Amino acid sequence: MTVAVITFGGSNCDRDAVRALAHVGVDAERVWHEDGLPSDVDGVVLPGGFSYGDYLRAGAMAAQSPIMNEVRDAAEDGIPVLGVCNGAQIGCESKLTPGAFTTNASARFQCESVYLRVENSDTPWTAAYDAGDVIEIPIAHGEGRFEIGEDRYDELVADDRILFRYCDAAGNVTDEANPNGSRGNVAGILGERESVAVMMPHPERATLPDLGRSVDGEGVLSAFV
Amino acid sequence: MTTYTATVTVRLKRGVLDPEAETTKRALERLGFELDALRSADQFEIDLDADSPEAAADRADEMAERLLANPTIHDYDVEVDEA
């Protein structure tokens, strides 16, 4: 299993992702976006960072990179694709996933640990958890407010495509526990296929035990095992 | 061919929260100004050669659709003038 962690100009969580994937036993390598996807790729991670300085909108420029056509084709073939943080913004901008991640309600960059409630455990990304589980994973973003039209949101809910919602330590999904004003406290969603997912929190920052904090993110990365 | 300037204005859809505009509004109020609301928009001025104003507008429209605006959160309009 070789997972390609795509490095765009301005990606900065690519190394962390490779390391965290290695910890869960997944062979991963960084791939420069201009080099295209390796032919034997078994998975794709769009990592966090500030690709192209967040010009225009976070993720808008990276979404135009030719490698994203290859990523879309790979996703169509059922290859697992995970977008994290800036990777989630790129995922929505490139229409791998619906909606948009835009300016936090606070209008500030927020770097903090948050609690997430697992909404649907019947996906590769959440199979390690039970629905209703509360996990702790950090966020670090200025543009993480999930926005989508009401009809599309209702469809996502009806189709069980919400992976995680921001909640408090007890699992209550409340406005107070919503760090960025996301619609429905949504922190992560599925694409058309359950093998495609994006999330603003960073599972790769909550995987290595040496960091001395939550390792709750390991379960997400285990989808690539 | 004539040279035109297409002006594309991209706004958040009504009802979509604009935290930067809210912050700007509060800063104006702190300066002592009275105002009811403030909306922000991005404006792009694009110089291009085209056979007609309609052709210039069509091209700018496609630019907005494909990159300059995000249809999930934005509305946009296009105006064309001879440069």
CA distance B19 to chain A (A): 5
In chain A, helix, strand, coil percent, each to 5? 30, 25, 45
Q: pLDDT for B22-81, tens place per residue? A: 999 999 999 999 999 999 999 999 999 999 999 999 999 999 999 999 999 999 999 999
Average pLDDT over residues A59-85: 97
Asked if A13 and A50 count as a contact pair (C-beta separation under 8 A), the reply is no
Count: domains in chain A: 1
Our answer to whether residue A111 is catalytic in this structure is no
Shortest CA distance to A163 belongs to which of A140, A185, A139, A138? A185
Out of A33, A119, A167, A202, which one is annotated catalytic?
A202
Average pLDDT over residues A47-56: 97
**Residue span of the structural domain in which A95 resides:** 2-224
The CATH number of residue A11's host domain is 3.40.50.880
Our answer to whether residue A202 is catalytic in this structure is yes
pLDDT of the residue at A1:
57
- CB-side exposure of A49: number of CA atoms within 13 Å? 22
CA distance B32 to chain A (A): 22
The CATH number of residue B75's host domain is 3.30.1280.10
pTM: 0.96
**Residue span of the structural domain in which B44 resides:** 2-82
**Chain B residues closer than 8 Å to A181 by CB:** 17, 19
- The secondary structure of A1-12, three-state, reads CEEEEEECCCEC
For A100-159, the DSSP string reads: EEE--TTSS-EEEEEEEEE---SSTTTTTS-TT-EEEEEEEESS-EEE--HHHHHHHHHT
At A81, list the tokens: 């694709």
Our answer to whether residue A92 is catalytic in this structure is no
Mean pLDDT taken over chain A: 97
Record: contact A56-B67, CB cut-off 8 A:
yes
Average pLDDT over residues A73-84: 97
Shortest CA distance to A140 belongs to which of A172, A167, A101? A101
